[in-house]
Amino acid sequence: MNKNLTTALDKAVKSAPAGSDVAVAAVKSAMAAANQAYDAFSKATKQVAEATEASITAASGATTKKKAA
């Protein structure tokens, strides 16, 4: 979707009035920042999920060992 929007913006710039390139650059910059934020959030969410899973696995293992003893 972002590539499509970027392509559309590039096409629009060609037929846009002079000076609009600054606005287009601002939109592209905002899109890039949003993509970076999304990527960072996705990575952080994945790390939290992995840490939670590891904690649950460790806790389950400890509980199983206590029951066996």
**Per-residue pLDDT reduced to its tens digit, 24-41:** 888 889 988 999 999 999
Q: What pLDDT score was predicted for residue 4?
A: 85
Any domain includes 37: yes
Structural domain tally of the chain? 1
**Helical packing angle, 2-15 and 21-68, nearest 10°:** 170
Any domain includes 34: yes
Contact between 24 and 13 under an 8 Å Cβ cutoff? The reply is yes
Q: What pLDDT score was predicted for residue 39?
A: 95
39 Rama sector, left if φ>0, alpha if ψ -120 to 50, beta otherwise: alpha
Q: What pLDDT score was predicted for residue 69?
A: 53
Any domain includes 33: yes
Any domain includes 28: yes
Any domain includes 12: no
Any domain includes 58: yes
CB atoms within 10 A of CB 31: 15
Any domain includes 31: yes
Task: List the domain range (segments joined by +) for residue 60.
Answer: 2-7+22-68
- Regions of the chain short of the pLDDT cut 70: 1, 62-69
Any domain includes 39: yes
Q: What pLDDT score was predicted for residue 65?
A: 61
